Chains A and B, each alone.
Chain A
Amino acid sequence: MVKIKTVNLNLFYGSFKALSNINLDVKKNQITAFIGSSGCGKTSLLRCLNRMNDFIRGVKIEGEVLIDGKEIYKNVVDLTNLRRRIGMVFQRPNPFPLSIYDNVIYGPKVHGINHQENLMEITKKALSSVFLWRELKNKLNDSALDLSGEQQQRLCIARLLAVHAEVLLMDEPCSTLDPIATAKIEELIMELKKKYTIVIVSHNMQQAARVSDYTGFFLLGEMVEFGKTEKIFTAPKDKRTEDYITGKFG
């Protein structure tokens, strides 16, 4: 089942064309990876999917993005609800300078949930889903900034789960983590796929190969090739994809 679909999507920063004619299907409960060298447009595309590019000056977007079959640019869209459903994990873990508990309940509170018991229940559920509950249940009032980078990134994911996100957009979520922490986050991502649809941008080809079901290879704003991950990495159709994954450039 297709969760997100883009049709002839173009994105311009001023006169610079950052994305060209992207046609993409993101399947539900699958992990889709975008790979390519920096500046190829993969993050720009990711930010199109929850309209985070709206805040950047001089951005122009053409074409369509459909979520559950509904276009999100042309129709009058409830942006609050859209962004709640399509959550985003950023490169650098960015918990708020608040307690662990306040970080998790920040989203629910923004959406008007104020009941203490409910909030505790939500916190427990969200932290359990990212396997943090057992280690942190007695430290909920400690500052989130004292956690390790990996725990912080998990907490950031929990923060999205607390508002019932359906899609998790991950923008190089492991780029600031060491290999052991990266492995743990990857394990979590694969676990989360059961319930959520995940799109991950990665600099690291091995990571894409390890975790994703589908991979798109991007080069200079174009999606050169898209398909099942094992196909892309074992039998790429395009010469440029092959050159990239075999390390000839990038």
Chain B
Amino acid sequence: MNPKLSQIIAKICLGLAMLFTISILIFIIIYILFHGLPILTYQFLSSPIQEMGKKGGIFPSIVSTLYLVITSVVVATPLGVGTAVYITEYTKKNKITDIIQFGSDCLAGIPSIIYGLFGFTFFVIFLGMGWSILSGSLTLAIMMLPTIIRTSEQAIRSVPQSYRDVTYSLGGSKWQGIKNIVIPKALPGILTGVILSMGRALSETAALIFTAGMSIRTPTSIFSSGRSMAVHFYTLAREGLSLPMAYGTASVLIISILFINFISYILMNQYLKKYS
């Protein structure tokens, strides 16, 4: 085949692949917003769930979701960033760090329902936390860890070695260098990872059904049971309670996720502008 022709064919094929991908994404978003936006009223956002979701709003789910996402981020961020700092700054690359790395990558690929089962047996039953925001958040936190560790690690590794050397050459300790220079400099990258993993927490269902329960009441503390928006959507759609309400819930979810990704995109851009 002559090179000119194969060039044209390749370009068309690649372009089609791109078009296909983008149109699926846009189709999903438009389809859900089309069905969901008419439902989205202040009433819908602020009313309790009535008749198992057939009537009323989704206020308890919004509160549960906020509780879950915030608590899981608060738990997962220090653990994940701490692990990443330890791996990058305090260990030399060897078999053990490779194993930690491998293990953490594997964790990222485990189906969420298995996390749910673990959370159920460990937090709900063994530790006696019951179905609660706390059990759910801890389970979510474990699921978020691999993403946070990976992205923090990359951000920390991208801080030039010379900054650490300078701290040493001024008589500073390793920890002073990490605390004063390395972490602040890696912060935008770390934040991007945290925000991305928030998206995962926001959209999680399987793991939460097992751990946070399905209560339709508004949670009053992290010890209450509560259903997140994603779980509520699942119930509405799966049990055929009310499709319009399901689309309404899905719209709120999608808008939140778009919002979160939008923020992370801006952060990423700022990060790249500043450090490259």
A residues within 8 Å of B by Cβ? 50, 52, 55, 57, 80-85, 87-88, 90, 92, 94, 96-97, 106-107, 109-111, 156, 159-160, 163
Asked whether B167 lies within 8 Å of A90 as measured between CB atoms, the reply is no
Q: Does B173 contact A (CB under 8 A)?
A: yes
The answer to whether A159 touches B92, judged by C-beta atoms less than 8 angstroms apart, is no
CA A172 – CA B170 in complex, angstroms?
18
Closest partner residue, chain A, to B167 (CB atom): A110
- Which applies to chain A's interface (DSSP): helix, strand, loop or mixed? helix
Query: Once the chains are docked, how many angstroms separate the CA of A94 from the CA of B169?
Result: 12
Query: Main SS of the interface on chain B?
Result: helix
0/1 interface trace, chain B 136-159, chain A, CB 8 Å (1 if under): 000000000000000000000000
Residues of A within 8 A of B272 (CB): none
Residues in chain A near residue B167, CB distance under 8 A: 106, 110
Please tell me if the beta carbons of B173 and A80 are within 8 angstroms of each other in the complex.
yes
Whether the pair A87, B162 counts as a contact (CB closer than 8 A) is no
Chain B residues within CB distance 8 Å of chain A: 92, 160, 162-163, 165-173, 176, 180-181, 185, 274
Assembled-state Cα–Cα distance A92/B274 (Å): 19
* Nearest chain B residue, comparing its CB with the CB of A97: B185
Q: Would B160 and A107 count as touching, CB distance under 8 A?
A: no
Contact status A163-B166, CB under 8 Å: no
Contact B163 A111 (CB under 8 A): no
Q: Which of A81, A85, A90, A106 has the most chain B CB atoms inside 10 A of its CB? A: A106
Task: Given A57-B92, A106-B180, A110-B176, check contact A159 B170 (CB 8 Å).
Answer: yes
Could you say which of B92, B162, B171 contacts A110, with CB atoms under 8 Å apart? B171
Q: A92-B162, A94-B162, A96-B163 are in contact. Are A87 and B181 (CB under 8 A)?
A: no
User: Chain A nearest CB: distance from B174 CB in Å?
Assistant: 9
Contacts of A81 in B (CB 8 A): 171
Q: Is the CB of B170 within 8 A of A110?
A: yes
| Contact B172–A107 (Cβ < 8 Å) | yes
C-alpha spacing A218/B166, complex, angstroms: 26
Query: Do B170 and A83 touch (CB < 8 A)?
Result: yes
Contact B171 A84, beta carbon cutoff 8 Å: yes
**Interchain nearest-CB distance for A67 vs B (Å):** 14
Q: How far is the CB of B74 from chain A (nearest CB, A)?
A: 28
CA distance A82 to B168 in the complex (A): 10
Chain B residues within an 8 Å CB radius of A156: 166
User: A80 contacts which chain B residues (CB < 8 A)?
Assistant: 171-173
Given contacts A94-B163, A97-B185, contact A87 B168 (CB under 8 A): no
Q: A94-B162, A96-B181, A110-B176 are in contact. Are A52 and B171 (CB under 8 A)?
A: no
> Shortest beta-carbon distance, A89 to chain B, in Å?
8
Which listed residue, B92, B171, B181, B185, touches A107 by the CB 8 Å rule? B171
